Amino acid sequence: MSEIVENVQSIYTIILALAVAEAFNQAIKENKPKEEKPATTLAGWFDCLHHSRVMSLLVFLMMIVPFFQGNQKYLYLQYIEPLHSASPPKSISAMWLNFDCFVFSIEAGLFFLMARSLSAQRWQQFYAAIIVLLSLDLVWAAIEKWHGSAVPSEWLFFDGLVMLVLVAIIAADWFLVRYDREKQLNRYCYWAASIITIICLVFGYLYEIDYVIE
């Protein structure tokens, strides 16, 4: 039974690893030796980066860490730890384990979508993917709480709060701010979404650090 759960963890880990690799691939410029120049200035040291994608890459990495650690810890507490108790269960629920595997795989796929949307010009798509991710995680957490699983109640609050804030920012960009969307970038909404998400991620991670690390 431990092997089955570990296989589910491996599937999630592999897809997330591919998403991280794709994110770095999108953020770092393609190697063109003939066009390379000596890095004689501080700015030249970072010439290999697509600067318009650095902020989204930072948000991406800060979000993927708590999701990975939290879901791995959940699978351990929910399925593996009981097997080592004084009276271990004789079986685990295949239906709930498959449900968790299905949801986690979709979440990992959404991270891959985010990795393909790092450009500042595509920030609405990037944060829309985060909204879908948090919405899915919120529904999953609510179902698991109803089922009596080891899901912290704070996950529901965190998912809902960040999701509502991002929805409000994207709605303001679409309906309140007038500009040429084909040629211009709404930097105010873009930076607002980025900074607020980073603050929420830092606060949420520090608040939940005892759960994900211990």
- The secondary structure of 100-121, three-state, reads HHHHHHHHHHHHHHHHCCCCHH
- Mean pLDDT confidence for 46-56: 82
pTM of the model: 0.88
- Residue 117 is predicted with a pLDDT of 94
Asked if the model's pLDDT at residue 89 lies above 80, the reply is: no
> What six digits make up the tokens of 78?
């929910």
Asked if the model's pLDDT at residue 43 lies above 70, the reply is: no
6 or 24, higher pLDDT: 24
48 phi and psi angles, rounded to 5 deg: -75, -10
Asked if the model's pLDDT at residue 38 lies above 80, the reply is: no
Q: Indicate the domain borders of the chain.
A: 2-213
3-state helix, strand, coil in the chain (%, to 5): 80, 0, 20
CB 137 within 8 A of CB 107: yes
212 or 131, higher pLDDT: 131
Tokens 């949801």 -> residue: 103
Tokens 């994900």 -> residue: 212
Q: Would you give the end-to-end CA distance of the chain in angstroms?
A: 23
